[in-house]
């Protein structure tokens, strides 16, 4: 019943967020993104600010959008980040979609109140060079930024870049028949290659390589091409130092550093939502005792896992989630950093998965398909893409003349890039709406502190005892267990401000408290000598504030 009510809530929210007239028909390139941001600025100047956080080494802008009214840096804030992985254009669309929908809904009282209470910082595209590869003349899944990098660390830079051998504008694969090949055709669909087993005949085997030439004759193809450091591999948690795309140390890049600096300056951030490869919303992270047995914490802490589980449930209330998806994380990833090294509650999801293709109900039609018994992901992807009539989902294998394999048959073809990352654009609108509802609900789950059960008592002439409780009336703790351990998350602070002539007999003028769970309280007590107006203020930048003023006479 509860679930049904929540779903109903979702529908109501959906109504709020469908006033938008965003007629987006395709994934946005850098210029289209900029135009969209300018349009928001014109229409919603009261609730919206946009600026360039920085420019990447390739000279492209990183946009920073602020939703909220007035002094936005002084309110509790939710951060939303997209474009963490270059090929994942959907991440950018979801981040922009949440911003656009919230602004479009800002006429409704509840959304207006939301944007009065909290600030939403949105970074729609953190990998602009890599994402641009989707729109360029030769399309391929690129992760690296514009920095010139010697990817294979051999003393030469970009000496083995990609080559579009069949001149079709997209990079796929090549296969070459060879008895020592590690691949064979998939029995269900011969267009798809699968890993060979010892049972497979030698004359059925192929080498499979990325489409390209071995320009430096080292036996590898395209191993040192354009593209430098990956945004989502450059962060300090489990940083895979020196591996391709990671950088020589964590947060080495202009854009990673600019984002880290922006966030460290903003103590008002209470949570980070990332649309990227890492997943803890469809399925939450689960605590294991090994996580904090060593001094380097390797996984989510116990009480934070409880919060993750709650928010994962909330996500399921608004977003249709596929079955069988496990949580995932990535070494050097941003979403992981936001939790482990920034200390905030951090949530992430790609926002969409390739659906499991279903056999047609019609038996005659079904007979044309063999059962995908080994659940091969590529077979599923191709069948699903063809069922959705995705254009150019597959490039048929076709022979080319290849200088590295004289006299051998080299075929170029295979699944098109980007297919598994992004749904057809027609499906994106509903994903945007669902994720807007989730982000809206997430913002409302934040920790909030209030002064409660206030009592004042006259103990003697001009002698007052006052007592109060500070309570976390929100649904999340006032700080993550991990963030509660370091300087970069403020403690909950209680101040008592006295009038002239008043002095404290007992109690301190300032109290600081560690993380408090939802519903948890702390009792406060002071003995004050002297009459006058006295104010108690509680809060922290990421929690907001509550205060009470009393006249002791």
Partner 1 sequence: MIPAMIFAQTPDQIFQAVGTPANPKVTISFNRYYTAEGLGALAQQLADAHPDLITLQSIGKSYEGRDIWCLTVTDQSTGPDLEKPGFYIDGNIHSNEIQGGEFGIYTAWYLAESFGQNTFITDLLKEKVFYIVPTINPDARNAYMRDPNTANTPRSGMIPVDDDRDGLYDEDGYEDLNGDGEVTQMRRKTPYGNYIIDPMHPNRMIRVEGDQRGTHEIIGSEGIDNDGDGRVNEDRVGGYYDPNRNWGWNWQPEYIQRGSHHYPFSIPENRAVMEFALAHPNIAGAQSYHNTGGMLLRGPGAKEDLSTYSRRDIQVYDQLGKLGEQLIPGYRYLTIYKDLYSVFGGELDWFHGGRGVFTFTNELYTSYMMFNSNDRSSEQTNLFEDRLLFNDQFLPWEEFDHPTYGKIEIGGNRKNYRRNNPGFLLESDAHRNMAFTIYHAYQTPKLVVEQVVKKDVGGGYMEVTATIGNQRIIPTHSDHDLKYKISPPDFITLQGGEVVAGMQLLNKDTGEAIEQEFQPARLSISNISGLGTVDVRWLVKVDENSSLQILVESAKGGKVTHEIK
Q: Which is nearer to partner 1, 105 or 212 (CB)?
A: 212
Q: 96 near 81, Cβ under 8 Å? A: no
Least distance to partner 1, CB of residue 339, Å:
11
Q: Does 497 bind partner 1 (CB under 8 A)?
A: no
Please state the closest distance from residue 39 (CB atom) to partner 1, in A: 35
Contact status: 331 vs partner 1 (CB under 8 A): no
- Binding residue for partner 1 (CB under 8 A) from 76, 124, 250, 333? 250
Residue 521 DSSP symbol:
E
Least distance from partner 1 to the Cβ atom of residue 355, Å: 38
Strands (E), 417-520: 449-460, 463-472, 492-497, 503-506, 510-513
SS3 state of residue 51: strand
Query: With CB under 8 A as the contact rule, which of the stretches 56-64, 100-108, 147-155, 428-436 interacts with partner 1?
Result: 147-155
DSSP string computed for 337-399: HHHHTT-SEEEEE-S--PPPP---SSHHHHTTS---TT--HHHHHHHHHHHTT-TT-EEEEEE
Of 35, 153, 288, 455, the one binding partner 1 by CB under 8 A: 153
Annotate each residue in 383-412 with x if it binds partner 1 (CB under 8 A) or - if it does not, as one string: ------------------------------
Distance CA 310, CA 189 (A): 42
354 Cβ partners below 8 Å, 6+ apart? 377, 380, 381, 384, 419, 420
Number of CB atoms found within 10 A of residue 433's CB: 22
Instruction: Copy the structure tokens of residue 84.
Output: 């963490």
Whole-number minimum distance, CB 252 to partner 1, in Å? Answer: 7
Q: What count of Cα atoms within 13 Å lies in the side-chain half-sphere of residue 23?
A: 0
Q: Which two tokens stand for residue 139?
A: 């399309």
Residue 243 Cβ vs partner 1, minimum distance, rounded to whole Å: 9
Q: Min. distance of Cβ 382 from partner 1 in angstroms? A: 37
* Beta carbon of residue 334, minimum distance to partner 1 (angstroms, whole number): 12
Interface region with partner 1, contact rule CB under 8 A, candidates 35-43, 76-84, 132-140, 254-262: 254-262
**What letters, b where the CB count within 10 A reaches 16 and e where it falls short, cover 336-354?**
bbbbbbbbbbbbbbbbbbe
Q: Is 148 in the site for partner 1 (CB under 8 A)?
A: no
Give the chain's count of helices (H) and strands (E): 11, 20
The residue (of 170 and 504) whose beta carbon lies closer to partner 1 is 504
Return the number of other C-beta atoms located less than 10 Å from residue 197's C-beta.
Answer: 7
Residue nearer to partner 1 on the CB measure, 353 or 405: 405
Number of residues that bind partner 1 (CB under 8 A): 42
Smallest gap from residue 125 Cβ to partner 1 (A): 22
- Give the C-alpha separation, 67 to 78, whole Å: 10
Q: Under rule CB under 8 A, which residues in 501-520 are in contact with partner 1? A: 508-510, 512
Provide the minimum distance between the beta carbon of 481 and partner 1 in the complex, in angstroms, as a whole number.
Answer: 10
Does 264 bind partner 1 (CB under 8 A)? Our answer is yes
User: Could you say whether residue 218 binds partner 1 (CB under 8 A)?
Assistant: yes
Residue 190 dihedral angles phi and psi, to the nearest 5°: -70, -10
Task: Please check whether residue 214 is in contact with residue 405, taking contact to mean a CB–CB distance below 8 angstroms.
Answer: no
251 binds partner 1 (CB under 8 A): yes
- Residue among 57 and 241 whose Cβ is closer to partner 1: 241
Q: Which stretch binds partner 1 (CB under 8 A): 215-223, 276-284, 310-318, 389-397?
A: 215-223
Q: Does 341 bind partner 1 (CB under 8 A)?
A: yes
Strands (E), 56-151: 61-67, 77-81, 119-123
Q: Which residue number, 402 or 429, has a Cβ lying nearer to partner 1?
A: 402
Taking the complex as a whole, the smallest distance from the CB of residue 479 to partner 1 amounts, in Å, to 10
Q: Which residues in the 71-90 window bind partner 1 by CB under 8 A?
A: none
C-alpha 454: how far from chain center: 41
CA distances from 344 to 222, 256, 340, 470, 472 (A): 39, 17, 8, 22, 17
Answer whether 245's CB lies under 8 Å from 54's CB: no
Q: What are phi and psi of 6, to 5 degrees?
A: -65, -40
- b/e for 476-491, b at 16 or more Cβ within 10 A? bbbbbbbbbeeeebbe
Q: Is 527 in the site for partner 1 (CB under 8 A)?
A: no
CB–CB of 373/367 below 8 Å?
A: no
Determine, following the binding rule CB under 8 A, whether residue 260 of this chain makes contact with partner 1: yes
Q: Is there binding between residue 266 and partner 1 (CB under 8 A)?
A: no
Binding window for partner 1 (CB under 8 A); candidates: 45-53, 183-191, 257-265, 520-528:
257-265
Complex with partner 1: residue 263 or 381, whichever CB lies closer = 263
**Dihedral-angle region of residue 375 (phi above 0 means left; psi in -120 to 50 means alpha; beta otherwise):** left
**Binding of residue 217 to partner 1 (CB under 8 A):** yes
Residues 195-214: x where in contact with partner 1 by CB under 8 A, - otherwise, as a string? --------------------
Q: List the end-to-end C-alpha distance of the chain, in Å, as a whole number.
A: 52
Determine, following the binding rule CB under 8 A, whether residue 454 of this chain makes contact with partner 1.
no
Residue 528, interface with partner 1 (CB under 8 A)?
no
Phi-psi region of 334 (alpha: psi -120 to 50; beta: other; left: phi over 0): alpha
Residue choice 18, 66, 252, 462 for contact with partner 1 (CB under 8 A): 252
Q: Provide, rounded to whole angstroms, the least separation between the CB of residue 344 and partner 1.
A: 12
Residue 291-320 contact track with partner 1, rule CB under 8 A, x = bound: ----xxx-----------------------
* Residues in 462-491 that interact with partner 1 by CB under 8 A: 482, 485-491
Which residue ranges make up the site for partner 1 (CB under 8 A)?
Answer: 150, 153-155, 216-218, 236, 239, 241-242, 248-252, 257, 260-261, 264, 267, 295-297, 340-341, 343, 482, 485-491, 493, 508-510, 512, 540-541
């Amino acid at each position: 019943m509860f679930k049904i009510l929540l779903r109903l809530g979702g529908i109501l929210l959906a109504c709020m967020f469908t006033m938008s007239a965003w007629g987006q028909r395709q994934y946005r390139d850098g210029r289209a993104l900029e135009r969209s941001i300018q349009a928001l600025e014109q229409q919603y100047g009261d609730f919206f600010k946009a600026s360039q956080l920085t420019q990447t080494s390739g000279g492209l802008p990183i946009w920073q959008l602020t939703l909220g009214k007035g002094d936005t840096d002084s309110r509790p804030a939710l951060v939303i980040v997209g474009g963490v992985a270059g090929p994942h254009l959907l991440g950018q669309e979801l981040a922009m979609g949440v911003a656009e929908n919230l602004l479009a809904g800002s006429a409704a009282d509840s959304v207006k109140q939301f944007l009065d209470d909290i600030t939403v910082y949105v970074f729609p595209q953190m990998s602009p060079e890599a994402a641009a590869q989707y729109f360029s003349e030769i399309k391929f899944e690129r992760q690296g930024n514009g920095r010139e990098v010697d990817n294979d660390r051999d003393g030469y830079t970009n000496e083995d870049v990609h080559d579009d051998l069949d001149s079709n504008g997209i990079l796929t694969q090549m296969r070459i028949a060879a008895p020592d090949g590690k691949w064979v055709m998939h029995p269900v669909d011969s267009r798809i290659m699968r890993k060979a087993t010892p049972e497979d005949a030698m004359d059925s085997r192929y080498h499979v390589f990325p489409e390209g030439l071995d320009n430096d004759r080292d036996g590898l193809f395209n191993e040192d091409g354009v593209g430098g450091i990956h945004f989502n591999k450059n962060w300090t948690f489990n940083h895979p130092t020196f591996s391709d795309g990671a950088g020589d140390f964590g947060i080495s890049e202009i854009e990673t550093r600019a984002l880290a600096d922006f966030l460290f300056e903003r103590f008002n951030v209470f949570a980070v939502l990332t649309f990227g490869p890492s997943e803890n919303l469809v399925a939450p992270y689960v605590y294991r005792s090994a996580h904090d047995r060593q001094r380097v914490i390797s996984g989510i802490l116990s009480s934070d896992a409880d919060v993750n589980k709650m928010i994962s449930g909330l996500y399921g209330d608004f977003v249709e989630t596929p079955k069988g998806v496990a949580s995932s994380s990535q070494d050097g990833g941003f979403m992981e950093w936001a939790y482990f090294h920034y200390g905030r509650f951090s949530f992430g999801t790609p926002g969409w998965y390739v659906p499991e293709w279903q056999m047609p109900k019609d038996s005659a039609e079904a007979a044309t398909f063999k059962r995908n018994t080994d659940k091969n992901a590529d077979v599923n992807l191709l069948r699903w893409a063809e069922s959705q009539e995705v254009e150019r989902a597959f490039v048929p294998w076709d022979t080319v003349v290849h200088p590295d394999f004289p006299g051998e048959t080299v075929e170029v073809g295979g699944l098109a890039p980007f297919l598994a990352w992004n749904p057809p654009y027609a499906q994106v609108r509903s994903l945007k709406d669902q994720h807007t509802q989730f982000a809206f609900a997430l913002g409302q789950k934040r920790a909030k502190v209030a002064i409660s059960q206030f009592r004042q008592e006259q103990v003697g002439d001009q002698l007052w005892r006052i007592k109060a409780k500070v309570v976390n009336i929100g649904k999340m703790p006032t700080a993550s267990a991990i963030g509660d351990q370091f300087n970069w998350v403020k403690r909950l602070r209680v101040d008592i401000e006295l009038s002239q002539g008043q002095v404290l007999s007992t109690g301190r003028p300032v109290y600081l408290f560690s993380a408090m769970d939802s519903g948890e309280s702390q009792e406060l007590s002071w003995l004050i000598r002297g009459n006058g107006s006295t104010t108690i203020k509680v809060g922290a930048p990421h929690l907001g504030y509550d205060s009470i003023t009393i006249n002791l006479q």
